[in-house]
Structures are given as C-alpha cells and as structure tokens.
Amino acid sequence: MLIVFIGPPGAGKGTQAQRLASHLNVPHLSTGEMLRDAEESGTELGRKAAAFMKNGQLAPDELVVKIIGQRIEQPDCARGCLFDGFPRTINQAEELDRQLSLDQRALDLVLELHVEEDELVRRLLRRAKHADKPRADDTPEAIPKRLEVYRSLTQPVLEYYRARGLLREINGQGTPEQVFARIRDAVETRQSS
C-alpha cells in the first residue's frame, strides 16, 4: 500500500508511521529525517535544507520532490511505502501523483492526524527538554512558525486528497497505542474495500 501521513508538527506522524511500517513490512519515508541525515553528512543538499528547517520554514519543493522521487524508485518500495511529512504543499502532492502515475501507481490512503494545538506545543517542548539529540526546530521561536506554515501551505493539501476520496481523519490524541489502533482500523477498512 501507498499511504501518506499528514499532520501538524508533533501530531505523531513519525511515531505512528514507524509502527505501521513494521506492521505492514514496508519502508517508512520521512522527508524530515532524510533532510536531517543530509545535513549531518554535510552534503550540499543538507546545508541548503538546514537553513529553512532551523527557521521552521519548508525546504524548496524541487529539492524534496527530487529526494522522494529517487527513494520511491528503490526496490524496497515496490510493495508500497509510507510517506511521513510529504507532500506538504499542493505542488508536492501533484508531483507525487505524477511520479507515481509514470509507474501506473497511485496512493491508496491519506491519514490526517488531528491533535489540538496546545497538545502539539506541549509535545514539542517536552521533546526539546528531554531528547538526547535535541532538534534545532523544537524552539519557542520555530514552533509557532512551523504551525503557521502547516496552516497556510499544508492544510490545503487535505482538501486536495479529500476531493479524491483518499482522506481519513484520525484522532491523534491519547496514547500512541490508542492512536495506532485507530490507524490500523482505517488501513484494514481500506484493504478490504
């Protein structure tokens, strides 16, 4: 299956995509992780992306479309994969559809993780305080910017998928186990339809 996880920063996309990836035995593709890895390796791409990430802004579409495009061509994605944090703009969503259609493929499901804003901020600040490896964008300055970018650039992507009948809203509050049970139900419903 080809499944997209969409949700604001701190909604639990990474946490849940990782669980679903091992449940379905397909790769978990996080553009945020890919960009942070590129930054750590000191590549040109990583340096370019780091400046945007630190300020809570999106990296340029062409840059993320390129890394995802190369990744989905890898043999381990032949049975499907989970997209976490991609697409984040309408342009990225259109590009993904275009690239998949070249291989006669299409998305099966889009899961929107819904979490109240005060809970999102609590989660991100908690991670900033307790993580072994703190993230440069979990700061009181960058968090509101990330939320604003989500509202203005990524929320329209929800409508794009709703219009195509792919969107399922998932309550992302509660324990990670409770959220995962809701996701598993949505995936099983889609598999049996």
CB closer to ligand AP5, 78 vs 131 = 131
Among 164, 27, 151, smallest CA distance to 83 is for 27
Q: Taking CA 19 as the corner, what is the angle to CA 21 and CA 24, rounded to the nearest 5 degrees?
A: 35
- Whether 146 is catalytic is yes
What mask of x and - would describe binding to ligand AP5 in positions 53 to 92, judged by CB under 6 A?
A: x--xxxx----x--------------------xx-x---x
- Beta-carbon contacts of 79 under 8 Å, excluding residues fewer than 6 positions away, are 25, 26
Binding to Mg ion by residue 14, rule CB under 5 A?
A: yes
Among 97, 23, 35, smallest CA distance to 60 is for 35
Strands, E assignment, the chain: 2-6, 28-30, 81-84, 109-114, 167-171
- Whether 126 is catalytic is no
Question: How many amino acids of this chain bind ligand AP5 (CB under 6 A)?
Answer: 29
64 binds, among Mg ion, ligand AP5, none (CB under 5 to 8 A by kind): ligand AP5
Phi, psi of 122 (to 5 degrees): -60, -45
Binding stretches for Mg ion (CB under 5 A)? 13-14
Which residues of the shown chain bind ligand AP5 in the complex (CB under 6 A)? Answer: 7, 9-15, 31-32, 35, 52-53, 56-59, 64, 85-86, 88, 92, 123, 127, 137, 146, 175-176, 179
